[in-house]
Amino acid sequence: MAKAIEYTPHPPTPAEKLGAATAQAEPALAEALELLTELHQRGGLDLALKLLRGSEGLTAAALDKVTGETGTNVIRNVVELGKLAGSLDPAELQVLLGALSGGVREAARSVEAGERVTPAGALRQLADPDVQLALGAVFGLLRGMGAGLRQRGEQGH
């Protein structure tokens, strides 16, 4: 025998929700508090707060640098160099670079000793089998680059 009566459902208040969540997460919260205490003692919290407050400025500044021409160029050049690094065969590179180290040593010794090579002396050097080997490598490099440049020109870039 019931007349109509009213009721208004109330969703849990923020305080109620927080209370429930805290109780449930007690172990995690306890550890988190330890972490925060350590950070605070070492000034880490302070730094984090400052960084966060400055973040928009920092990001904006960072993005500004990145999107500026210099920034873009730097990134692009890094990417291009990266692509180069990716496209070279390590084995082949090792051959040249290994030999290069010997060459650098010989060059340094020569500079140290103050040696100079006259045009006539240069011609005589050309007869040296070691020099010839190196020249072979250099000309190989020139041929390869030239072929690449020629192909690029033919494709109409």
Partner 1 sequence: MKGIPAVTSSNDSGLTNNIGPKEPTAELLFPPGPLHPKSGEWVEVQIDGVAYPAQLGEPLLDVINRSGTELAQVCYHPQLGPIQSCDTCTVEIDGALTRACGTPVQAGQVVRTQTAPARAAQRDAYDRLIANHVLYCTVCDNNNGNCTVHNTLSTLRLEHQHRAYHPKGYEKDFSNPFYRYDPDQCILCGRCVEACQNVQVNETLSINWEAEQPVVLWDGGKPIGDSSCVSCGHCVTVCPCNALMEKSMLGEAGLMTDLPLPVFNSAVEAVKAVEPSTGLEAILGISEIESQAREGYIERTKTVCTYCGVGCSFDIWTKGRHILKVEPQQGAANGISTCVKGKFGWDYVNSEDRLTSPLIREGDHFREASWDEALDYVARRMTEIKDRHGPDALSFVASSKCTNEEAFLVQKFARQVIGTNNVDNCSRYCQSPATVGLVRTVGYGGDSGTIKDLEQADLVIGIGTNTAESHPVLATRLKRAQKLGRQKIVVVDLREHELARRADLFLQPRPATDFIWLSAVSRYILDHGLEAGEFLAARVDGLAEYRASLEPYTLEYAAQATGWSVETLKNLAEMIASHQRVCIMWAMGVTQQCGGSETSTAISNLLLVTGNYGRPGTGAYPLRGHNNVQGTSDMGAMPDQVSGYQRVTDPEVVARMQAEWGITLRPDRGLDNTQMIDAAIEGRLKAMWLTGEEMSLTDADVNHLIRGYESLELFVVQDLYFTNTARYADVIFPATPSLEKEGTFTSTERRIQRLYQVMEPLPGCKPDWQIYQAVAQRMGAQGWDYTHPGDIMDEVARVSPMFAGVSYSRLEGYDTLCWPVAEDGTDTPLLYTEEFHFQGGKARLWPAEYVAPVNVPDAEYDLQLNSGRMLEHFHEGNMTFRVPGIAAKTPDAFVEISPELAAERGVETGSWVRVVSKNGAVRLRALVTERVSGKQIYIPMNSRELEGSVNLLTGQNRDTITHTPAYKDTAVRLEVLGERGPSPLPRHNFRFGQPTPQRGVEVERKWARDDYFFPDGSYVGGVAEEGPGVGQAPAFGSDD
The footprint of partner 1 (CB under 8 A) covers 1-9, 11-12, 56, 59-60, 63-64, 66-67, 72, 75-76, 79-80, 83
**Closest to partner 1 by CB, 12 or 148:** 12
The Cα-based distances of 137 to 59, 93, 134, 141 in angstroms read 48, 12, 5, 6
Exposure class string for 57-80: b at 16+ Cβ within 10 A, else e: eeeeeeeeeeeeeeeeeeeeeeee
Of 40 and 65, the one with the shorter C-beta distance to partner 1 is 65
**Cβ of residue 129: shortest distance to partner 1, in angstroms?**
42
Please say which residue, 34 or 64, places its beta carbon nearer to partner 1.
64
Nearer to partner 1, 11 or 119 (CB): 11
How many other C-beta atoms lie within 10 A of the C-beta of residue 96? 13
CB 98 → partner 1: shortest distance, Å? 30
- Closest distance between partner 1 and the C-beta of residue 27, in Å? 21
Distance CA 40, CA 90 (A): 49
